[in-house]
């Protein structure tokens, strides 16, 4: 049996029936990785001995959690105690956290196997997984193309059946966009639903950890495990967490769905538009009430995001200076020279670009003109969603304006790269939950994603809509040939 092709819930059933074991699952995945990883390059780190050690420890456990024996890849900006966690940046090479992120600790409590560290754009700065110091990850559907970013390694590993589940982080679409381009499910929870303790920050008011999975049911199971209040994160909401698997009903009868006209304007690839419109037609046929809505401030989202995100990034990355941990320049004359050379050597081009942009936006004389104005625009974007949700239960849009583009195609054109997230950014600015599910393929056989957006802390609505769509299509069952 090819265990690597199964979902987490299928494997959990087999484990419960004693038809397989965590060790057998891990060994099957390791065998798969030896065949595919040289092509995909989804991982920064994989310690086979540690994986087997975890399996041996699980055999001693008397109680089984929801993810007992299920391998989970962790994005390289989420801390795992004693394991390299570098944000795919030279400046953090060799850093081994002395503690687990809250989400990792909860996974371990449930008996999940912390399987590998997923490659990513450096410090999550990118939409293609090309800015990593370890080199780019390749899309399993076409190895000459990008997997999306910044959680490209996590998404590609799920698509390539190199893992069962993965965690990513989403600041402006970094879970949903790679999920779309790799043909898997990507879930960005409400801001504050999942603790950010142990997530190395990009933009603190936007970042959110979430699942990448083979189907919606697996995403719901993983979200159950990682969600909930955490006193170690002051931004983590003290809101009751429902059992998300109870929202998995194949029924959208009466569900009010809005599709924003601004998301179907110039710039949207024709094949993506056709696939999304076909999906809306199916949802209407299944009983949903589908109507056009307007989010009038959508056109400001990209500019707004790249002011707020870079400003927060420049502040968060100030701590990486070669003094306490990570890379330090070997040849310097004084403390200031050490700072400059360490950061010059340690950060890549995109990281430097965002630090400079953010520092400029926060500098004296420009704060009011840029950052403060961006915060006001953010409020207008949030109010657009508030008005829309008075007349609809969820919003459906494309996840990405195009399918996966070729490696190297946009790396020297930052503006073109930034526009890759045009349909996902607004969700982070408004702090809302969203999920991307496969909804078709283009003529080259590349996946296309469909995005569901809901009110804050109404993840169940997303799961109902996404699960119903998935149960009435077979896009999520298709696999790339590797």
For 137, the token pair is 């990850």
Angle at 175 between CA 120 and CA 230, to 5 degrees: 100
Which of these is catalytic: 89, 154, 174, 180?
174
For 184, the token pair is 């898997």
Alpha-carbon span 272 to 268, nearest angstrom: 7
For 200, the token pair is 């190395």
For 421, the token pair is 């997230």
Q: Which residue's structure tokens are 């503006």?
A: 415
Angle at 90 between CA 77 and CA 31, to 5 degrees: 60
Alpha-carbon span 205 to 191, nearest angstrom: 8
On whether the CB atoms of residues 245 and 224 are closer than 8 A, the answer is yes
Alpha-carbon span 423 to 430, nearest angstrom: 13
Q: Which residue's structure tokens are 């967490």?
A: 241
Q: Is 241 exposed, middle or buried (0-12, 13-18, 19+ CB in 10 A)?
A: middle
Q: Which candidate, 374, 64, 392, places its Cα nearest to that of 206?
A: 374
Give the DSSP H/E element, type plus range, for residue 284: helix 270-285
Alpha-carbon span 295 to 287, nearest angstrom: 24
Q: Which residue's structure tokens are 């469909």?
A: 450
Q: Which candidate, 252, 248, 247, 229, places its Cα nearest to that of 239?
A: 229
Alpha-carbon span 174 to 315, nearest angstrom: 20
For 227: left if phi > 0, alpha if psi spans -120 to 50, otherwise beta; the answer is beta
- 22-40 and 48-58 helices cross at what angle (nearest 10)? 160
User: Other C-beta atoms within 10 Å of 340: how many?
Assistant: 15
Q: Is 150 a catalytic residue?
A: yes
Which of these is catalytic: 75, 108, 117, 214?
75
Angle at 99 between CA 96 and CA 102, to 5 degrees: 125
Q: Is 75 helix (H, G, I), strand (E, B) or coil?
A: strand
Which of these is catalytic: 127, 132, 150, 400?
150
Q: Is 75 a catalytic residue?
A: yes
Alpha-carbon span 424 to 406, nearest angstrom: 21
For 276, the token pair is 């999304």
Q: Which candidate, 57, 51, 68, places its Cα nearest to that of 16?
A: 68
For 94, the token pair is 């060799």
- Residues serving a catalytic function are 75, 150, 174
């Amino acid at each position: 049996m090819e265990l690597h092709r199964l979902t987490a819930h299928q494997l959990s059933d087999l484990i419960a029936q004693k038809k397989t074991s965590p060790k057998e699952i891990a060994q099957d995945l390791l065998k798969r990785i030896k065949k595919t990883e040289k092509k995909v390059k989804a991982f920064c780190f994989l310690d086979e001995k540690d994986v087997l050690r975890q399996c041996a420890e699980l055999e001693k456990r008397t109680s089984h959690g929801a993810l007992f024996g299920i391998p989970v890849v962790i994005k390289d900006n989420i801390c795992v105690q004693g394991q390299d966690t570098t944000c795919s940046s030279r400046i953090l090479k060799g850093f081994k956290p002395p503690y687990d992120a809250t989400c990792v600790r909860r996974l371990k409590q449930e008996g999940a196997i912390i399987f590998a560290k997923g490659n990513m754009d450096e410090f999550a700065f990118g939409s293609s997984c090309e800015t990593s110091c370890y080199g780019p990850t390749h899309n399993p559907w076409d190895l000459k193309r990008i997997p999306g970013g910044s959680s490209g390694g996590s998404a590609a590993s799920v698509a390539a059946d190199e893992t069962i589940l993965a965690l990513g982080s989403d600041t402006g679409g970094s879970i949903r966009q790679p999920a779309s381009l790799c043909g898997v499910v990507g879930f960005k929870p409400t801001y504050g639903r999942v603790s950010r303790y142990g997530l190395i920050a990009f933009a603190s008011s936007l970042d959110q950890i979430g699942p990448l999975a083979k189907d919606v049911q697996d995403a719901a199971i993983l979200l159950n495990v990682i969600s909930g209040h955490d006193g170690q994160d002051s931004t983590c909401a003290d809101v009751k967490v429902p059992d998300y698997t109870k929202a998995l009903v194949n029924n959208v009868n009466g569900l009010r769905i809005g599709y924003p006209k601004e998301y179907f304007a110039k710039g949207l690839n024709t094949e993506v538009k056709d696939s999304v419109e076909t999906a809306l037609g199916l949802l209407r046929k299944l009983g949903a009430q589908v109507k056009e809505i307007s989010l009038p401030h959508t056109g400001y989202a990209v500019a707004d995001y790249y002011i707020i995100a870079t400003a927060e990034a420049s502040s968060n990355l100030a701590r990486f200076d070669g003094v306490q941990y990570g890379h330090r320049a070997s040849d310097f004359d004084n403390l200031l020279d050490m700072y400059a050379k360490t950061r010059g050597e340690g950060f890549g081009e995109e990281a430097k670009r965002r630090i400079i942009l953010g520092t400029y936006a926060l500098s004296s004389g420009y704060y009011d003109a840029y950052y403060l104005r961006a915060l006001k625009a953010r409020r207008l974007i949030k109010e657009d969603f508030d008005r829309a949700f008075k007349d609809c239960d969820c919003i459906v849009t494309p996840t990405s304006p195009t399918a996966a583009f070729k490696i190297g195609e946009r790396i020297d054109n930052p503006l073109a790269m930034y526009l890759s997230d045009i349909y996902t950014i607004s969700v982070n600015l408004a702090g809302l939950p969203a999920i991307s599910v496969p909804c078709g393929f283009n003529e080259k056989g590349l996946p296309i994603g469909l995005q569901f957006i809901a009110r804050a802390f109404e993840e169940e609505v997303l799961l109902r809509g996404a699960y119903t769509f998935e149960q009435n299509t077979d896009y999520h069952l298709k696999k790339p040939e590797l």
